[in-house]
Amino acid sequence: MNFAHLVVQRLDALAQISEDEGGLTRSFASPAMRRVNDLVGSWMRDAGMSVCTDAIGNLIGHYPAATPAGKILLLGSHLDTVRDAGKFDGPLGVLVALACVQFLNETKTRLPFAIEVIGFADEEGVRYQSTYLGSRALAGTFNCEDLKRTDARGVTMAEALREFGGTPDAIAAARMDASRLLGYVEVHIEQGPVLEQKNLAVGVVSAITGQTRARIAFVGEAGHAGTVPMNLRRDSLCAAAEFVLAIEELAKDRSGLVATVGEITAMPGAGNVIPGQTKLSLDVRHPDDVTRSQTCDELKLRADEIAAGRSVIMNWETVHESAAVVCERRLALLLENATKCHQGEAPLLASGAGHDAAAMAAICPVAMLFVRCKGGVSHNPAEFASEADIGVAIEVMNDFVKSLAKSK
């Protein structure tokens, strides 16, 4: 069986399941997520796995150990996407993991441990701005307060989850038993240019950067675009614009720091009305948590100064924080050894992107394998990983699983 080709075919099939006509978007607890869970669940059954969906909508396939007392190796990634996404970010990790189990099943191989392949319910946080919902539920770090968050249509997370078929009240019980876990290993497209520059198919992740996400609002005064003199305006959009450039200026000056405003909304949103309120998102990341936290404090002060200078009000709500995570050395070494067998060298890369592994690190050791990403382009329909590189990733993961079994 050409498992790499099978993964590519399945990626194409999943890319057709979207809540948007024009592009690939799958958000938490949406009908599109339901359809993807059903399709991937059928592939899991074909690979000899028993399948369930947990309280928050994670899809979990179980491939039993040779002995019932065996521990569990967790593999997988997320099945939700950003807006207008590429087809690899998330599903690639689930499908490579599934290919490894299918290989074991077809060769009638049982290991001293079980394997569970997880398709996480929400890593991107597009619908409710809080990310890692699925992995936090399994890690026991889910914040039940998040269930009260509302989406753009005013639907709470709890209502959306019930409509999806989940059980908000049972999320706390979804936490996995840490004593049974060997670790969580995630394969993911690199989403950066390093492997392409090194002309290598895969690389091993050393650490995952920490991130802060905030929602900021500048509140001024709506007014008539034709009659309010410039010196009498309290224009919230101009305040936001000045702040966006201040963010960029500070981030350019601070090595290793990235800061992004991905969303901005001016209200009431009419061409002849001075915006009374402007809302924006902020995403701040740095490998060092103290630097990231200090930067957020500085940006909050700067936003306050800009607001005061324009006689507008500034509201700041931090909606997500995740600390930087170091991948577990023993698992990473097994990945490195397996990688060296297939490409001669095993580069270590830090991840600027967040991953479910960052949340799973709260309950078990984690490691990640990156797959070369064409032009480093991601969170973009042009995102691409080659069938040949996917084939290397599958081989490396098969060898990783074998070496882990031998080390038991």
The Cβ of residue 400 has, within 10 Å, a number of other Cβ atoms equal to 24
**Considering CB distances under 5 to 8 angstroms, the limit depending on partner class, which of ligand HGY, Mn ion, none binds residue 354?**
ligand HGY
- Whether the link from the prior residue into 91 is cis, omega within 30° of 0, is no
Cβ closer to ligand HGY: 353 or 392? 353
Cα separation, 234 vs 301, whole angstroms: 19
With tokens 């990640």, the residue in question is 368
Retrieve residue 306's tokens. 């800009």
Cβ closer to Mn ion: 29 or 217? 29
Q: Which amino acid is at 325?
A: V
Q: What angle do the packed helices 329-343 and 387-407 form, to 10 degrees?
A: 130
Is 300 within 8 Å of 216 (Cβ atoms)?
A: no
With tokens 């005013």, the residue in question is 154
Minimum Å distance from CB 98 to ligand HGY? 21
Binders in 84-103 for Mn ion, by CB under 5 A: 89-90
Cβ closer to ligand HGY: 196 or 283? 283
Determine if 80 is a binding residue for Mn ion (CB under 5 A).
no
Minimum Å distance from CB 318 to ligand HGY? 16
| Piece of the chain touching Mn ion by CB under 5 A; list 16-24, 82-90, 259-267, 384-392 | 82-90
- Return residues touching ligand HGY (CB under 6 A): 123-124, 131, 353-354
Binders in 162-181 for Mn ion, by CB under 5 A: none
Minimum Å distance from CB 78 to Mn ion? 6
Cβ closer to ligand HGY: 228 or 323? 323
Binders in 259-318 for Mn ion, by CB under 5 A: none
Retrieve residue 165's tokens. 């078929």
Helix (H) and strand (E) counts in the chain: 11, 16
Q: Which amino acid is at 46?
A: D
Minimum Å distance from CB 324 to ligand HGY? 13
Cβ closer to ligand HGY: 91 or 354? 354
Cα separation, 102 vs 377, whole angstroms: 30
Binding residues for Mn ion, rule: CB under 5 A, are 89-90
